[in-house]
Amino acid sequence: MAELLKLLKDGNKPSLLAACVNTFLGIIKGVAFFLTGNVAMFAEMMHSLGDAANQLFVYIGSALSKKAPTKQFPGGFGRIVNLVCLFAVIIVAILSYETIKEGWHHFIHPTGESSGILIALGVLFIGIVLEGTVLAKAAAEVLHEAGQEKAGLSTIPKAFSYLNRAKPATKLVFMEDLVATSGNFLAFAAILIAYFTGWGRIEGLVSMIIGAMMFYVVGKVFLDNARGVIGETDEEMLNHIAHIVMDDPNIKDIFRLEVIKEGEFLHVELVAEADPHLSLAFLDDVRDHLTEVILSQKGVSKVAILFDEDDGKTNWVHVNEKPKDTI
């Protein structure tokens, strides 16, 4: 239990914050739906509850993924966060389907004007403020994990450019809260339009749009984490580490280099070619130096280096661009 609590302290903070916020929003939106009968509010209730459950699972998964390797699992537990994300999107997919189904039913068979417009608008306004706050924090975390500085009001737009370099949990929170904030805006607009024009079908239409946006997140997150479970190469870091290795004067060539994403971390396996006349003791010092340098790179948690004698041929062809100053 003590180990679990220690791991939970290191869990992804944006996902925990998002889970708490969405739980609160799901409750007040549910109350508002039962008071008003507004189908757009129903869609937002389902969305918030789905996001809350999803992000809670992600928080727990991100914490467990930091568990140290054991004798039974020497590769560590990094991919747990990917497995948890895959499980979490199933919940969102079910709620997305229910949201679209309810929206379609309301669009085909409108139930008339819903009551309590001020209650619905007030709850959605609270949702916009809270979801927008979480989105801004998630965007700032995306930039932090990518080694970039926050950009004030441009933080959220800037985060899109570095989303692929964010941790799986942070990326999921950013995408879900982007859709959640957009959904709140759409539901807010739908209620106003329905009230002033009398076209009640728009609430059902917006409900289906919100459900479709949720499905987009499901598909995107599923594909990203399916690659993570299988074991995906980080091409950008692979080229960067290749340059680091080839800059060492004692390394003649790279026979094999793998940089595999293990959840939030990177595992590096290197087979380098060196002068066969170098002593074992000297090569051991070279390995220690390279291991230290590679481990200092952002996200790298494990390095394995082997040496082979130089065959006089150039095997490595991936080193084709100058490395960045910081990764």
H helical segments located in 198-266: 201-230, 235-246
User: For residue 113, what pLDDT is reported?
Assistant: 58
- Residue 185 or residue 236, greater confidence: 185
User: For residue 318, what pLDDT is reported?
Assistant: 55
pLDDT of residue 156 exceeding 50: yes
Q: Do domains 1-229 and 233-307 have the same CATH topology?
A: no
User: For residue 4, what pLDDT is reported?
Assistant: 66
Helices 39-64 and 80-108: angle between axes, nearest 10 degrees: 180
Cα separation of 191 and 186, whole Å?
9
pLDDT tens digits, residue range 176-212? 888 888 888 888 898 888 888 878 788 888 888 888 8
Cα separation of 129 and 24, whole Å?
13
Q: For 306-315, what is the mean pLDDT?
A: 85
Concatenated DSSP letters of 132-191: HHHHHHHHHHHHHHTT----GGGHHHHHHHTGGGS-HHHHHHHHHHHHHHHHHHHHHHHH
Question: Using an 8 Å Cβ cutoff, are 107 and 208 in contact?
Answer: yes
User: For residue 19, what pLDDT is reported?
Assistant: 87
Q: Report the percentage of the chain scoring pLDDT > 90.
A: 14
3-class secondary-structure state, position 267: strand
Q: Most confidently modeled of 1-5, 209-213, 317-321?
A: 209-213
Question: The whole model's pTM is what?
Answer: 0.69
The CATH topology of domain 1-229 is Alpha-lytic protease prodomain-like (1.20.1510)
pLDDT tens digits, residue range 58-76? 888 888 887 877 888 777 7
pLDDT of residue 216 exceeding 70: yes
pLDDT of residue 228 exceeding 50: yes
**What mean pLDDT value characterizes the chain?**
83
Q: For 208-230, what is the mean pLDDT?
A: 83
Domain segments of the chain as ranges: 1-229, 233-307
Q: What is the CATH number of domain 233-307?
A: 3.30.70.1350
User: For residue 320, what pLDDT is reported?
Assistant: 46
Residues 30/32/36/37 CA torsion (nearest 10 deg) = -10
pLDDT tens digits, residue range 89-116? 787 788 788 888 888 888 887 765 556 7
Q: Is 231 left (phi over 0), alpha (psi -120 to 50) or beta?
A: left
Cα separation of 305 and 228, whole Å?
23
Question: Using an 8 Å Cβ cutoff, are 43 and 211 in contact?
Answer: yes
Edge to edge, the sheet with strand 265-274 lists: 251-262, 265-274, 300-309
Concatenated DSSP letters of 15-70: HHHHHHHHHHHHHHHHHHHHHH--HHHHHHHHHHHHHHHHHHHHHHHHHHTTSPP-
N residues, the chain: 327
Q: For 156-182, what is the mean pLDDT?
A: 83
3-class secondary-structure state, position 314: coil
Inter-CA distances, 277 with 250, 283, 308, Å: 11, 10, 11
